[in-house]
Amino acid sequence: MEDIKIPTKKNFRTVEEINEKIRNGDVQVLTALEMKKLVESSGVEIALKEVDVVTTGTFGAMCSSGALINVGHSDPPIKIQRAWMNDVEVCHPGAAVDLFIGATQMSEEQPFDYGGGHLIEDLIRGKEVELRATSYGTDCYPRTQISTNLTKDDLNQFYLLNFRNCYQRYVCAVNSLDQTIYTYMGKLLPRFRNANFSGAGELNPLMNDLTYETIGLGTRIFLGGAQGYVIGEGTQHDPKNRFGTIMVKGNCKDMSPEFIQGASFTNYGTTLYVGLGIPIPILNEELVKKTAIRDEDIFTDIVDYGIPRRARPKIGKVNYKDLKSGLIDVNGKRVRTSSLSSFKKAKQVSELLKLWIENQDFYLTTPVEKLPTDTVFKPMKQTQETSFVSNVMHNAITCTEDEEIQSIANRIVTNSVNHIVVIDESGKLRGIVTSWDVTKAMAERKNQLSSVVSRRVVTAKPEEPLETASRKMAQHNISALPVINSERKVLGIVTAEDVSRLLGK
């Protein structure tokens, strides 16, 4: 492993000198927000002389969080195979009694309302939780099931072990569809009626040291109201695109529920909100400039979450200043913005970390290995081809609105289909009739097609993945989707049978 590169120019101060100042009680600490104001009013040189440390903070949903616990051995002992705590299945990755609580794992009894994130919060709050475990039994671990109640005091280890936290920035999510969607970026109203973003912008820890000059393995940080550590790059760390992440650990037994909170996104699932702050030692002029970064310099993409593909369409760019103002411009339209992370809490993190340092409760560290700056985030290698609507769609049997029920009935029988697509003279979609509609009309002795046509038709596009089309049918409880192009011209139809033949659903 390459050694940490020592800048050719001698640093203005060292981490050791800063820690000495902390010990002597004369360290100068500013929050990142205060630092930006100082640099703007007094310039880089004065800021370098006057400021030793800049504190940062963020408080947001961090789904790739979890806690490692050791519950101790029972008598007779059990080698846990599967386990649940408060009905949340916990993973059993190790020997006998080590368990991992994943933040997004949902309760079997109350999915979407309670999950691993809430479980971690409850344990931190000192609440008693129920552990249930099963096993196959061995000569050395004969027990096959156990049930007990535990608090954090009964656990040997209780460590937050978050493998991807503190995204440097995140995209801004909008929805082009005609209906509200519920995503991990929150509730997105139809037709771009709102925009959701996440992240503290100019207060974000990694944004204040863009090249990770002072951050890496061993960096002591604020984590969930306690002192924790960076233990390396986070998964999906993507430094070149300014989507850096970190992996962190900290002792949950010292944490505060004020800065660790279970949460749930409707129809998406549960997660954990984490408060995280990193102190940036002001070693040189470059670090003064880096910590002076402003919201207007931090840009991100506006992304359409209405398209459920890996490459969701980017429809614009926006900076964090505009995002925080509550109103942005999306394709010429004024759109209100909501944050999913809490800027108020992020500020509290940076202020509390400042106080700790001033009160000699927190000393800075030099990382033993810096975060990589050259890794790339690869997409999944897929060895099976993805099926699209165009792979299975077939010709639709159509009719026009002026036809009579009897002739539609004949067409259903002759073609042995259940759906007739109603089109106009130019082939554009007007509606759909099913064999059920026709049966009902005949039973009621109606002869006008217009009385039974469904006008609000759920449709598919040929380039849509079959999985998406299948989900649409399930959500709307229907068995076919007319396939149309952008001019609403009918190209064919895809049915539930087509899907099940290919996907086995």
Partner 1 sequence: MVKILLKFSESLVGKPITSEIVLKYNVPINIITANITSKGGEFLAEIPDEALEKMVKAFRQRGLIVTLPKLIEIDEKECFSCGACITICPVEALEFDTDFSLVFNKEKCLGSTCNACVDACPAKAINSVG
β-pairing, 216-217 vs 369-370, is antiparallel
Does residue 140 have an active-site annotation? yes
Rule CB under 8 A: say whether 344 interacts with partner 1.
Answer: yes
Q: 241, exposed or middle or buried, with CB in 10 Å at 0-12, 13-18, 19+?
A: exposed
How many residues belong to the site for partner 1 (CB under 8 A)? 31
Rule CB under 8 A: say whether 163 interacts with partner 1.
Answer: no
| Distance separating alpha carbons of residues 54 and 34, to the nearest angstrom | 9
* β-sheet bridge partners, residue 339: 197
Please, what is the minimum distance in Å from the beta carbon of residue 114 to partner 1?
10
Please, what is the minimum distance in Å from the beta carbon of residue 346 to partner 1?
9
Residue selected from 84, 141, 163, 273 as contacting partner 1 according to rule CB under 8 A: 273
Rule CB under 8 A: say whether 189 interacts with partner 1.
Answer: yes
* Residue with Cβ nearer partner 1 (49 or 336): 336
Structure tokens at 280: 């940036």
User: Could you tell me which stretch among 54-62, 208-216, 314-322, 464-472 binds partner 1 (CB under 8 A)?
Assistant: 54-62
* Residue with Cβ nearer partner 1 (56 or 365): 56
Residue selected from 43, 72, 94, 326 as contacting partner 1 according to rule CB under 8 A: 326
* Residue with Cβ nearer partner 1 (163 or 192): 192
Catalytic residue among 140, 166, 172, 399: 140
* Residue with Cβ nearer partner 1 (270 or 291): 270
User: Could you tell me which stretch among 9-17, 193-201, 419-427, 488-496 binds partner 1 (CB under 8 A)?
Assistant: 193-201
Alpha-helix residue ranges (DSSP H) falling in 275-385: 285-291, 320-325, 343-358
Q: Is 333 helix (H, G, I), strand (E, B) or coil?
A: strand
Closest to 206 in 3D by CA, of 301, 287, 272, 278: 278
Residue selected from 56, 107, 208, 264 as contacting partner 1 according to rule CB under 8 A: 264
* Residue with Cβ nearer partner 1 (90 or 349): 349
* Residue with Cβ nearer partner 1 (295 or 464): 295
CB 142 within 8 A of CB 274: no
Residue selected from 345, 354, 370, 430 as contacting partner 1 according to rule CB under 8 A: 345
Please, what is the minimum distance in Å from the beta carbon of residue 408 to partner 1?
27
Residue selected from 219, 271, 300, 470 as contacting partner 1 according to rule CB under 8 A: 271
Closest to 97 in 3D by CA, of 164, 163, 148: 148
User: Could you tell me which stretch among 10-18, 71-79, 299-307, 331-339 binds partner 1 (CB under 8 A)?
Assistant: 331-339
Structure tokens at 431: 């509606």
77-107: b (≥16 Cβ within 10 Å) or e: bbbbeebbbbbbbbbbeeebbbbbbbbbbbb
Structure tokens at 2: 């390459």
Closest to 17 in 3D by CA, of 356, 366, 289: 366
Per-residue CA distances from 31 to 203, 278, 292, 321 (Å) = 8, 10, 11, 18
* Residue with Cβ nearer partner 1 (135 or 165): 165
User: Could you tell me which stretch among 53-61, 134-142, 421-429, 489-497 binds partner 1 (CB under 8 A)?
Assistant: 53-61
Please, what is the minimum distance in Å from the beta carbon of residue 362 to partner 1?
23
C-alpha R_g of the chain? 29
Rule CB under 8 A: say whether 265 interacts with partner 1.
Answer: yes
DSSP per position, 40-79: HHH-HHHHHHH-SEEE--EEEE-SS-EEEEE----SS---
Rule CB under 8 A: say whether 328 interacts with partner 1.
Answer: no
| Axis crossing angle, helix 405-415 with helix 435-443, rounded to the nearest 10 | 140
Rule CB under 8 A: say whether 261 interacts with partner 1.
Answer: yes
Rule CB under 8 A: say whether 338 interacts with partner 1.
Answer: yes
Residue selected from 253, 312, 347, 488 as contacting partner 1 according to rule CB under 8 A: 347
Only one residue has tokens 């002795």, namely: 445
Please, what is the minimum distance in Å from the beta carbon of residue 292 to partner 1?
21
Alpha-helix residue ranges (DSSP H) falling in 136-283: none
DSSP state of 252: G
Please, what is the minimum distance in Å from the beta carbon of residue 67 to partner 1?
19
Residues with a catalytic annotation lie at: 140
Residues forming contacts to partner 1 in the complex (CB under 8 A) are 59-61, 113, 182, 186-187, 189, 193-196, 261, 263-266, 271, 273, 326, 336-345, 347
